[in-house]
Amino acid sequence: MTNPLFYAKIILFGEYGMIEDSQGLVVPYSFYKGALKFSDLSSEFELKSNKHLQKYSDFLTTLDLSDDFKLDIESFKSDIESGLFFDSNIPQGYGVGSSGALVAAIFEKYALNKLDPEQISKDNLKKLKTVFGEMESYFHGKSSGMDPLICYMNLPILIENRENLDRVSIPEGEAGKGAIFLIDSGITGETGPMIQIFFEKMKTEGFRKTLKEEFIRYNNACIESFLKKDMNPFFRNLKKLSHWAYEHFRPMIPESIFNIWKKGLDSNAYYLKLCGSGGGGYILGFTKDYAKAEKMLEGFQKEVIYRF
């Protein structure tokens, strides 16, 4: 039997802010995917992945998961001995959920109580997010559980606040001039150090105040107008959000991106924001005219993820 595919994810809105109770909007991204498979481990990639799973299975035995979400670790360990590996093209350190897809795949295969993503109640979504947070903490030190949840559900999720989240429909894409796209910064980023920088910033009252009064307001307004497909207020708030990040998330913006970030703000041709924790990997771009933005961003590798 073929194991199911688990897709990457993209945080469209809410990076860092979700830690402080802002809304978040996270969507699956099917360009990148991964699945658990068996092989004779003849390739270096497969062998490395298998060894990684061995270490991870040891970590999972230390978790005290609630009865509803227990894993069959013995079967997992037995399968690892039989050549199990995670076959994935999701780039690591790019903010698109490489560890989230792995956690989701393991939970789907080895959970003792099988869940149907289509039927999970809002309350169980919350519990599952907590379980995924514990499982993913192996990779990042601390995890909200959001990445694995998105990868597992394979549906857009709206994070309403720290306590509540629910499935949501995003407007159908269409072949218009506008686009949401990814820019490759050319370097990988590490989540841990970036989150550390954020928490250091949170120790200063001025930063806490501007995060709550400005970032969260612009972020939530962007989500609201995007879901309604109300593009004028969307781009108005997006510019404010992009400018705020340029001022306050400087350490998280890769050096290769500084100039084009400012160029977008000055020209209004496009606006950039972090994709995940930043520090490297992908940067998100939004534009009303992709052909124009593409010309201005010549030399950078880009991927369109949504048209409007």
Of residues 122, 204, 191, the one with CA closest to residue 161: 122
In the structure, what pLDDT confidence band is assigned to residue 192 with cuts at 50, 70 and 90? confident
pLDDT of residue 2: 61
CA atoms within 13 A on the CB side of 130: 14
pLDDT of residue 81: 98
pLDDT digits (tens, 9 = 90+) for 139-160: 877 787 888 998 999 989 999 9
Higher pLDDT: 223 or 121? It is 223
User: 259 phi and psi, to 5 degrees?
Assistant: -65, -40
Q: Above 50 in pLDDT, residue 1?
A: no
Instruction: Determine the Cα–Cα distance for residues 271 and 238; give it in Å rounded to an integer.
Output: 7
Q: How many CB atoms lie within 10 A of CB 78?
A: 12
Enumerate residues 6+ apart whose C-beta is below 8 A from 219. 13, 14, 17, 22, 23, 241
